[in-house]
Homo-oligomer: A and B are copies of this chain.
Amino acid sequence: MDQAVRSAVKAATADCDRNAWDAGNCPVRDVMNRISGKWSTLLLEALAEKPHRFGELRRLVPDISQRMLTQTLRDLQRDGYIEREVFPTKPPSVEYRMTPLGRSLFGPLSKVLAWAAENHDAVRAARRSFDDAGLA
């Protein structure tokens, strides 16, 4: 398993290693920089379940500002993870839904999310012992 991971990473970063992860040149960084935004995973998680409208997402993630919701949705749309459809209803409504590309990303991504949920306690424990040991 460790070997499998090793080779996956090697393949994943082959282009980067040449330039030591040169900023604009590294596919991994280019893709990850969007995914790893504060809100991106939350929204992908919500939209993985089912399509949602703007206001629904706002209620689902209560502490996101409208500004960041708009922007993050647009970024996710730009990179092809989600689609936006406007319905010409009386107050026009907008629905966001995941694309096949987004769904294919969410496969691996959900594994990380699951890891986070499972290991939250271990992380909290590590954090406590770090804080207790001298350097806050």
Contacts and interface: CB of A to CB of B under 8 A. Distances in A.
Contacts of A112: 32, 35, 105, 108-109, 111-112
Contacts of A63: 22-23
A72 interface: no
Interface in A25-42: 27-33, 35-38, 40-42
Interface string A5-27: 11011011111000011110001
A115 interface: yes
A78 B116 CA distance: 16
Nearest to A112: B108
Given A20-B61, A20-B62, 15 more contacts: A6-B49, A9-B45, A11-B114, A12-B117, A13-B45, A28-B117, A29-B42, A32-B41, A35-B116, A36-B38, A78-B126, A80-B130, A105-B119, A108-B112, A109-B112
